[in-house]
Structure 1
C-alpha cells in the first residue's frame, strides 16, 4: 500500500444534459479534437513555405479532409475494436457491433480507417498520398490527447496495481491503487508526440513526403508500448505470450511501417539532391 493514494476525482461523465439529451465528455472530446485538427490542418495548408511547393489541399479540401478523417476514425475504430479486442462476443451478438454508444474503440482500427479514407481523398483531389498522411499525422496527436483525458474522466482503461505515491483507486477497478495510465498516455501519445511531429514540420518535414507520418508511426508505436507497461490489459484478452498485450502487438507493425516511410523519404531526398 502506498504512503499516499490520490482519490479519483468524481467527474460526471455527462458534460451537459438538456432534458433526455446528454452530451458526454467522451463524445465532446471527439468533437473538440476534430475541430482543432481541422483548424490546424487549414493553417498548415495555407503556408506554402512549409511544403516547399503548393500544399496538397485548399480550404475546401481541408473541409473534406475533416469529413474523411471523422469517418475513418469512427468506422475503423469501431471495427478494429470488434475484430482485435472482442471478436467472440460480437460474433455472438452482431447487432452490438453497431452500438458505438456503448463504448469500445480501437486506435489501431481508427488508424487503418484513416489510411483508407486518405487514400480515397488523395484520389479525389489528385494529391500525393504521403502528403496527406503527413498532414494527418501532424493533427492526430490532438485527438489522442483529448481521447486519453476522456478515458480518465470516464474512469476506464485504468492502469496496473502499484505502490507509487500518485496511485489512484478507480471506482470500477476495485480497491487496489493503480497507475493513472490514461494520463501517462495523454502525455506521451498526445503532448510529447504533438511536440515531435510539429518540430518535424517546422524543420522541413513536409518537404520530404513520408517524414512526418513515418516519425508519427514510429514514435506512437514506441510510446504506446511504453504506456502498455503501466496499463491493465483488457479483461477479455489479458496478457498474450511473453507478457505482451494486444496494444503492444498491434504497435509493432506501426513501427516497421514508420521506419519504411522514413527510409523512403530519406532515399527520395538523396535522389533529388
Structure 2
C-alpha cells in the first residue's frame, strides 16, 4: 500500500458572522450561476438573430429555480425515496446536502422551455447557449463536493494520489470529485466552447446541447467506476451505479439530438 495524501481539511463554512454562515457549497452554486450567466450573454450576443441577449437577465431566476428545485427533487426520487417517504419534512432541508445533477438538469430543461416561450426563441437555440455554460457550474460544484469531503471515490490503496477522506474510513480513496471537476467541468467546457464557435452549428441549433448531453453522460459513466456508490443504494443492475444508469439515456438522447439537428434545414429566426 502506498502512503496516502493527507486530505486538505477546509472549513466548509466560508464566512460566519454570529449565527449567520455562508458555506463554500452555496458560494459554488452562486459562482457557477453568475459566471455561467455572463458566459451565456457572451454567446447570445453572437446569436442575436434568435432573441435579445438582454433577456437572459430574466433567465437567471428561471435557471436558479430549476437547478435548486430539480436537483433536490431528483435526489429525493432517484437516490433516497424510502427515507424521505418516512421523513418528508427533511426533503425541504436543502442546506443539509443532497442534490442530483440529473434532477437539476431536468429542472433547467423545463426552465429553458418557459424562457424560450416567453421570448419567442427556438428551444434548441436557447438550449445550446445554456448547455455550453453548464460545465462552469459543474466545475465549481465538484470542487465544493471535494471541500465537503463528500462523494469520494472507491478505495485505491495502490494509487499514488489517493486520499483518506474524513467520512470515508481509514482506506485511501480516489479523489473522484476532482476527476469530475476536470472531465465534466474543464474538458467538457473546452470541447463545447470549440463547437459553439462554429457558424454552421449556430444555424442548426441542438448540436451543442446534444454534445453536452452525450459528453456529460460518457464522462459520468467513466468516473462512476472510480466513485463510491451511494451507501443507501450500492450497486444496481449489472453492477452499475445509479449515476451510470441515469447517464445512459443522456448519451442516447444527446446522440439522437445531434443527428436530428444535422438533418434539419438551417433555422430561420422569427422576425422581431
Pick one of 131, 135, 142 that aligns with 1:141: 135
Match of 1:215 in 2: 211
How large is the Cα RMSD of the aligned pairs?
1.4
Q: Counterparts of 2:266 and 2:115 in 1: how far apart (Å)? A: 28
TM-score (norm 1): 0.95
- More helix per residue: 1 or 2? 1
Q: Which residue of 2 aligns with 1:63?
A: 57
How many angstroms apart in 1 are the aligned matches of 2:81 and 2:95? Answer: 18
Any stretches of 5+ residues in structure 2 without a counterpart? none
List gaps (5 residues or longer) in structure 1: none
Look up the match of 2:115: 121
Q: 1:147 to 1:271 in 2, by over 3 A?
A: closer
C-alpha distance after superposition, 1:156-192 (max 9, x if no partner):
0000001201100001110000000000000000000
Tell me how far apart the structure 1 counterparts of residues 49 and 234 of structure 2 sit (CA, whole Å): 48
Partner of 1:80: 74
Match in the other structure for 2:243: 247
TM-score normalised over the length of structure 2? 0.95
The answer to whether the 8 Å contact 1:56/1:131 transfers is no
Alignment of 1:101-250 (within 5 A): 101-162=95-156, 163-204=158-199, 205-250=201-246
* Residue 29 (structure 2) aligns with: 30
Q: By how many angstroms is 1:256 displaced?
A: 1.1
Is the 1:5–1:168 contact (alpha carbons within 8 Å) kept by the matching residues of 2? Answer: yes
- Does residue 1:44 correspond to 2:25, yes or no? no
Q: Give aligned pairs, total.
A: 266
Shift of 1:55: 3.7
Task: Assess if the C-alpha contact under 8 Å between 1:181 and 1:230 holds in 2.
Answer: yes
Deviation at 1:271, TM superposition (A): 10
Q: Report the Cα distance in structure 1 between the residues aligned to 2:159 and 2:257, rounded to whole angstroms.
A: 39
Counterpart-to-counterpart distance in 1, 2:177 and 2:255 = 27
1:83, CA displacement in angstroms? 0.1
Instruction: Give secondary structure in 2 for the equivalent of 1:173.
Output: coil
Give the Cα separation in 2 of the matches to 1:35 and 1:103. Answer: 21
